[in-house]
Structure 1
Amino acid sequence: MEYVYAAMLLHAAEKDIDEKSVKAVLKGAGVAADDARVKALVASLAGVDIADAMTQAVAAPAAAAAPAAAGGSDAPAPVEEEEEEEEEAGFDGLGSLFG
């Protein structure tokens, strides 16, 4: 998880997310960086719009909570399997980071 946080920190600071930068952030946090994991992270983020991915990750739970809140019931609204599969498909790229 600290690898992803390092990438998010670099993104927030508007710095390049490359191996050297990620390793520097991890070292600063007192984490011994695994070269293979750093390379995998950088490779998986190549071409990813991090700001857009973060917006989608935050918007999905909020959108799912809205119908339940509108119904006035404390019980969560039933979720159809097809909707879950569609939502999960959008996060395949980020999900691979935790793997």
Structure 2
Amino acid sequence: MEYVYAALILNETDEEINEDNITAVLEAAGVDVEESRVKALVAALEDVDIEEAIETAAAVPAAGAAPAAAGSDDDADDAEEADAADDADDDDEEEEDEDASGEGLGSLFG
């Protein structure tokens, strides 16, 4: 992730995104730089308009945000009930896992 951050820093400061500059940013941050990762990043970003990519990413709503905002109160209640049911199922599964693992250990030690 720090490699991408280095590219974003260079983009923000209007510096060229190349191997030397990314390496310099990473080394300044104390990162043990892997040349192959730097080369791969520079190659991947070669034809990418970073500003456009940022705008596109910012325009995409978070998963589930749009349906929840557009839904009615009944939809919200249904979602809460489903979440509660999922939590209860998870708790039951955890108890079953604990019971099963306890039986296995008991059989090992008599």
TM-score (norm 2): 0.61
Q: Distance in 1 between matches of 2:64 and 2:15?
A: 33
The residue that corresponds to 1:18 in the other structure is 18
In our comparison, the structure showing a higher alpha carbon Rg is 2
Poorly superposed stretches of 4+, deviation over 4 Å: none
Q: Distance in 2 between matches of 1:5 and 1:58?
A: 16
Unpaired runs of 5+ residues, structure 2, are: 80-110
Displacement of 1:59 in angstroms is 1.3
The correspondence of residues 1-99 of structure 1 with structure 2, limited to 5 A, is 1-62=1-62, 65-72=65-72, 73-74=75-76, 75=79
Displacement of 1:64 in angstroms is 5.8
Displacement of 1:70 in angstroms is 2.1
How many residues are aligned here? 76
Unpaired runs of 5+ residues, structure 1, are: 76-99
The residue that corresponds to 1:92 in the other structure is none
Structure having the larger proportion of residues in helix: 2
SS in 2 for 1:69: helix
SS in 1 for 2:32: coil
TM-score (norm 1): 0.68
Q: Higher relative contact order by CA 8 Å / sep ≥ 6: 1 or 2?
A: 1
Q: Percent identity?
A: 55
Q: Distance in 2 between matches of 1:26 and 1:7?
A: 10
